[in-house]
Structure 1
Amino acid sequence: MSTVHKKRFGLLGKNISYSFSRGYFAEKFKEGNYDGCSYENFDLAEITSFPEIISNGKEEIKGINVTIPYKEAVIFYLDKLSKKAAKIGAVNTIKITKKGKLKGYNTDYYGFKKSLQPMLKPQHKKALILGTGGASKGVAFALGELGIDYTFVSRNNKDNTIDYSQLNEDVFKHYHIIINCTPVGTSPDIDACPDIPYEYFTSEHIAYDLIYNPAETKFLQQAKEKGAQIKNGLRMLELQAEKSWEIWNK
């Protein structure tokens, strides 16, 4: 009788009981008859506990996804990065090689790019990215590949960044893609939304929210009321998950 070798995969993050990934991969393993494969949450209060997870599961752990708030902090613990992850400066996928080395990739940018492309029209030349965390870096990289200019919106003064207080009708006339890369509006805090002037959305705009729970955030609802095309982060997550699976198994 042949032995089924156990292969463990998982999600690294903080307060991730709500996570999409575990359910998605559990269903994938079941439907595809991937014997011996499991997917679990590595829910850490501090990133400093990450090496312990790896050392405890070194023989079985083959791949890890990374979510908020560790997409940038985890890089310190990796042995190498893919070229694109190095350019982006954030990691959401880790492959454990046969030699036990940890290599970081970014599949967020791929999922975002592929899910945004079908929505694009000639006026979609410039984008506002709400937030400057790890997720926003993958989004910015994807926009760059699509030839779309972008500006970050943040309360932190950095290069290529404007403050929320600077958003007005004139800005909305020039920027026709607005992407929420912050966690504001995630369940259970569904009445919250980024502090932007929603009255300036039009049918020329795309409102994209990386949040997928709830399916229609207050950010999306208010943009939709003004006629904007809307998209939540579910398709992006599905695409990045499949790309992660491809990386782990190649």
Structure 2
Amino acid sequence: MAKKKVKKQRQFGLIGKNIHYSFSKKYFTDKFEHHFFDNCHYKNYDLESIREFPKLVEETKGLVGLNVTIPYKETIIPYLDKVDKKAKKIGAVNCITVSKKKKLKGYNTDYYGFKKSLKPLLKKHHTKALILGTGGASKAIAFALKKMNIEYDFVSRNPNEYEFSYEELTAEIFAEYTIIINATPVGTHPNVKDCPALDYSLFTSQHIAYDLVYNPEKTAFLKQAKAHGATIKNGYEMLVFQAEKAWEIWNK
């Protein structure tokens, strides 16, 4: 009788800090169960410092792919052997492939997920966007908007000369920028009452309010924007799209 071939164990995971809430672990664990990928496993790797990363790669058996989240999307880049062209342009990585020889290549699937989830909401007048926040996620958002020919500007609590401060956002600016994207973690569970410091009465039915946060489903930012007529969307669908793109990359 022929010996049954033992499937090679494939390990995946998420690199981040304080990531017990993570979308990825549940999403991939459910996916593996549903499709009977019984040789695939997904784990959260909560790192106190990015310096712990090389040891993790070295010691983890069967490591094939990793997702990367806050606060390491930018600081992980120097640890990689190669970075995909788009991720290099963006300046942030949220997906890594690990070769048999432990060579690491970085990609960005955030921009893809965002672009795919925003597209169905767009109307002719949606030509300019404000991105709240300037971290790794906001860089991917900017890249996606550029690909869609949507002009954008950043809003920051500590703006440089090219960015808006929250205090500068007037009715005139809101009339011009009809897509407002929260790319900060403000409002994430458990701090559900928090929201970016905007004048929410400036939202209208012409606006899209998009929040990368998905837990809670309706953040304070989205609730207040909706109360003034805005079309709202949270980051859940973006996460699904970026996760599926990562799965595609890991299985090339």
TM-score for the superposition, normalised by structure 1: 0.98
Structure 2 residue aligned with 1:81 = 83
**Corresponding residue to 2:108 among 106, 115, 140:** 106
Structure 1: tracts of 5 or more residues without a match: none
Deviation at 1:98, TM superposition (A): 3.1
Structure 2 residue aligned with 1:18 = 21
Q: Are 2:57 and 2:102, in contact at CA under 8 Å, matched by a contact in 1?
A: no
Deviation at 1:100, TM superposition (A): 1.9
Structure 1 residue aligned with 2:58 = 55
Alignment of 1:159-198 (within 5 A): 160-198=162-200
Name the amino acid aligned to 1:218: A
RMSD of aligned C-alpha atoms?
Answer: 0.8
**Corresponding residue to 1:28 among 17, 25, 31:** 31
SS at match of 1:191: coil
Structure 2 residue aligned with 1:234 = 236
Deviation at 1:156, TM superposition (A): 2.4
Q: Map Cα deviations across residues 9-45 of structure 1 (whole Å, 9 max, x no partner).
A: 0000000000010000001001111121000000011
Structure 2 residue aligned with 1:45 = 48
Structure 2 residue aligned with 1:150 = 152
Structure 1 residue aligned with 2:141 = 139
Q: Are 2:131 and 2:152, in contact at CA under 8 Å, matched by a contact in 1?
A: yes
Matched, 1:129 2:139: no
Structure 2 residue aligned with 1:213 = 215
Query: 1:170, 1:97 → 2: CA distance?
Result: 51
Query: 2:220, 2:156 → 1: CA distance?
Result: 19
Structure 2 residue aligned with 1:119 = 121
Which deviates more, 110-119 or 41-50? 41-50
Q: Map Cα deviations across residues 81-126 of structure 1 (whole Å, 9 max, x no partner).
A: 0000000000000001233210000000000000000000011000
Query: 2:83, 2:241 → 1: CA distance?
Result: 20
- Say if 1:170 and 1:80 are closer, same or farther in 2 by CA, change over 3 A: same
Query: 1:19, 1:98 → 2: CA distance?
Result: 27
Structure 1's consecutive aligned runs of 4 or more residues displaced over 6 angstroms after TM superposition are none
Q: Identity percentage over the alignment?
A: 59
Name the amino acid aligned to 1:37: C
Query: 2:176, 2:121 → 1: CA distance?
Result: 18
Deviation at 1:157, TM superposition (A): 2.8
- Aligned residue pair count: 249
TM-score for the superposition, normalised by structure 2: 0.97
Query: 2:195, 2:84 → 1: CA distance?
Result: 34
Query: 1:44, 1:212 → 2: CA distance?
Result: 22
Name the amino acid aligned to 1:131: G
Structure 2: tracts of 5 or more residues without a match: none
Q: Map Cα deviations across residues 53-107 of structure 1 (whole Å, 9 max, x no partner).
A: 10001x4110000000000000010001000000000000000123321000000
